[in-house]
Amino acid sequence: MSGAGLIRRRFVFSGEVQGVGFRYRAKMFAEELGITGWVENQWDGTVVMEAQGTWEQLYRLIRELQEARFIEISRIEKKTVPVEEHEYYFETR
């Protein structure tokens, strides 16, 4: 994905986010929305995700994750990071 209007955000999710299908759903929703990036469990129980798309696409991705069954997000840390020019898919790490 490339073009004007793209942004990339790094999210750190806290709460009941491991062992509940978070990464699977993040990948599924990202692919449906045309978002690239990655998602990864951390040793401290959080999940880190970098997602690249338009503001609207990223907003919809976060909303889908917040509304997903079994996932209980208590906190989201957000940071804008540089766009990856040659990224073409979303992966689970």
Task: Give the pLDDT of residue 48.
Answer: 99
23 as an active site residue: the answer is: yes
Is residue 92 in a domain? no
β pairing state of 90-92 and 72-81:
unpaired
Q: Which of 8, 9, 10, 23 is catalytic?
A: 23
pLDDT in tens, 43-91: 999 999 999 999 999 999 999 999 999 999 999 999 999 999 999 999 9
Query: What is residue 22's predicted lDDT score, i.e. its pLDDT?
Result: 98
Residue 90 in any domain: the answer is no
Query: Is the residue at 51 inside a domain?
Result: yes
| Average pLDDT estimate for 35-45 | 98
Residue at 1 is within a domain: no
CB 91 within 8 A of CB 25: no
Q: In this structure, is residue 69 part of a structural domain? A: yes
Indicate whether 35 belongs to any domain: yes
- Residue that the structure tokens 């073009």 belong to: 3
* CA distance linking residue 30 with residue 68, whole number of Å: 14
Split into its structural domains, the chain has a count of 1
| CATH at residue 59 | 3.30.70.100
Structural domain contains residue 91: no
> Measured between alpha carbons, how far is 15 from 74 in angstroms, rounded to an integer?
5
Give the range of the structural domain holding residue 19, as residue numbers without chain letter: 7-84
The two three-digit tokens of residue 78, written as one number? 């957000």
Catalytic-labelled residue, pool 41, 60, 69, 93: 41
Give the pLDDT band of residue 7 (cuts 50, 70, 90): very high
> Rounded to two decimals, what is the model's pTM?
0.93
In a domain, 65, yes or no: yes
Q: Is 25 part of the annotated catalytic residue set?
A: no
